[in-house]
A and B are shown apart, each in its own frame.
Chain A
Amino acid sequence: MTTLWTPRRGGLIALAAVIAVLPLFLQNAFHYDVAILIGLNAIVCVGLNLLIGYAGQISLGHAGFFALGAYASAILTGEHDWPPLAALLGGALGVGLLSFVIARPILKLKGHYLAMGTLGMGIIISIVLNQEVDLTGGPDGMPVPSFVLFGWEPAGELTWYALVGGLLLATVWLALNLIDSPVGRALRAVHGSETAAEVMGIDTTRYKVQVFVVSAVLASLSGSLFAHYSGFISPAEGEFFRSIELVTMVVLGGMASTFGAVVGAAILTVVPQLLAAFHDYEMLLFGAVLMGMMIFLRKGLVPSLAQLLRERRK
């Protein structure tokens, strides 16, 4: 078999190796905490990249779906004693349905209008989380019971790390599968020219809706895990700035590059921690990164590096 080593398989093995080896370098609870946050952000970004990078549809409201997943888990386990797994799946189903209903009208919009539409959606979610004090605890946030899976409770950083790492690997695998299929080509065709895609027999609305729902559900799942992991959530998880942060991660790592989304999430999760002393300037940093990328490296880090390597080899 000549197909044993393909770029996709090579990338997956490399990612698995990094996830497996990384704990050797993680020296304390804080390091693990950052690594877990990277994983949770990366899961959202891989989904968001399917929407933004591949299908070419912007969303400035995905933190809203993350927060809805987090609150679904918090409320269903905390107030209604659901098993955490059921709450996580219930949240994902709810977010899936909500995003499906929103998707059709909102994805009719293009360019700036789509950006405005998704922005509005995210802000509405944020307002609801802040105002529905009886349900969400309002701006004060709410505690979340710990995660229990059929009697097993992931305790300690290494267990959480393994859980999130495994899920990230699975997410990346699924995303790569999707891209490398007729569905993936259809999504990229929508990005290239919607009119031509339609003429090739592609129901563009259907594919845009599907990928929007998938990315929303991934954000919700990640949000649920985050809620249980951190044990406390507040409406800040769904704020506009979080949505921008997620988009910046995708753009930095590389549009239309699944591994790029992971790299982008890693960098922009770590850097603010390193610059904790300059916390007030976090927004400035993200803005500068986004502007710099747009001007100097429009393809993003990973695709630009890959191109550089290819040219070197020639």
Chain B
Amino acid sequence: MSLLRVENLSKSFGGVAAVADLSFTIDPGAIYSIIGPNGAGKTTVINLISGIFRPSGGRIFFEDQDVTGLPPYELAGRGLSRIFQNLQVFANMTALENVMVGHHLHCDRRFLPALLRLPHIVRGDAACRDFAAELMASVGLGDYVHAEASMLPYGALKRLEIARALATRPKMLLLDEPAAGLNPAETDAIDGLIKGIAESGVTVLLVEHDMRLVMGISDRILVLDHGRWLASGTAPQIRRNPEVVAAYLGGGARER
């Protein structure tokens, strides 16, 4: 059984097709990457799957259930989480609180018990705090637990987004350019982090420009060009595919 199945997905903005007739499936436990030149529609695909955009056509199935057009918070409840290419950290909170918000679905979030601060709310909050601190330590953010989120350096903010997304306990994590703006050392560390996430049983859908990262960790790669399927396969297959080389890598980049 596939975890995610996308059938004939389309999205157009004012008559311009950003994604057209795209179909693919992702197996549980895989690291699945989408690559393509700028403007190929990669982020649009992520936004469609995570419910930020409504598709213009086609269907999306998660665990064989039709989730097309569901709002993001419903999808989060079903086990789908993501990070954002342009960071969307809650700058008005501490780093720890950011991750605690990620754990929202696993807390008692009713209004009245919170208003009266019933004992189980206090206990639940303490447990949530510990969970979030542990999770931050596990992604290498132990030093920033009590820092204001707005004070974190860029690389740490990327990890904070990942920690926050993991706090939802997702079955599938959508990573939109996790290495963008990072230096090579930081990129290597993110590489290890993504592998660790996949090994812990979370399926990963990765959109990324850093070819070294993508080729190194992906089980399968999908190549998009102008919103359309161009090729898919394993890293060696993609690297050898002449159409991909022509459309995306360009002649001179063959040996990269």
Contact = CB atoms under 8 A, between A and B. Distances in A.
B109 A200 contact: no
B73 A203 contact: yes
A193 B90 contact: yes
A185 B71 CA distance: 20
B90 A201 contact: no
B116 A192 contact: no
A108 to B, nearest CB: 13
Interface residues of A, number: 27
Given A184-B114, A188-B93, A193-B90, A202 B125 contact: no
Chain A interface main SS type: helix
Interface string A176-199: 011011111110110111011111
Contacts of B88: 193, 195-196, 199
Interface in B54-85: 71-73, 76-77, 81-82, 84
Contact of B128 (A182, A200, A210): A182
B104 A202 contact: yes
Contacts of B90: 188-189, 191-193, 196-197
Given A182-B108, A192-B91, A196-B89, A177 B114 contact: yes
A265 B232 CA distance: 63
Contacts of A198: 51-52, 71-73, 76
B5 to A, nearest CB: 21
Contacts of A182: 104, 107-109, 114, 121, 124-125, 128
- Interface range, B side: 35 or more
A199 B117 CA distance: 26
Given A192-B89, A192-B91, A186 B101 contact: yes
Contacts of B89: 192-193, 196
Interface string B198-209: 000000000000
A201 B117 contact: no
Given A182-B109, A201-B76, A196 B114 contact: no
Nearest to A256: B92
Contact of B82 (A186, A199, A256): A199
Interface in B101-138: 101-102, 104-105, 107-111, 114-117, 121, 124-125, 128
A28 to B, nearest CB: 38
Contact of A200 (B101, B115, B116, B117): B101
Contacts of B225: none
Given A186-B104, A201-B105, A192 B72 contact: no
Nearest to B100: A185
B164 interface: yes
A189 B84 CA distance: 15
Nearest to B110: A183
Nearest to A192: B90
Interface centre among B89, B90, B116, B164 (most CB of A within 10 A): B90
Contact of B111 (A183, A188, A199): A183
A201 B111 contact: no
Contact of B168 (A178, A183, A189, A201): A201
29 contacts: A174-B115, A174-B116, A177-B116, A180-B117, A181-B117, A182-B108, A185-B104, A186-B101, A186-B104, A189-B93, A189-B104, A196-B84, A196-B88, A196-B90, A198-B71, A198-B72, A198-B73, A199-B81, A199-B82, A200-B81, A200-B101, A200-B104, A200-B167, A201-B73, A201-B77, A201-B104, A201-B105, A203-B71, A204-B73
Given A180-B125, A185-B101, A198-B72, 16 more contacts: A177-B116, A182-B107, A182-B125, A182-B128, A185-B100, A188-B90, A188-B93, A189-B93, A193-B90, A198-B51, A198-B71, A198-B76, A200-B101, A200-B168, A201-B104, A202-B104
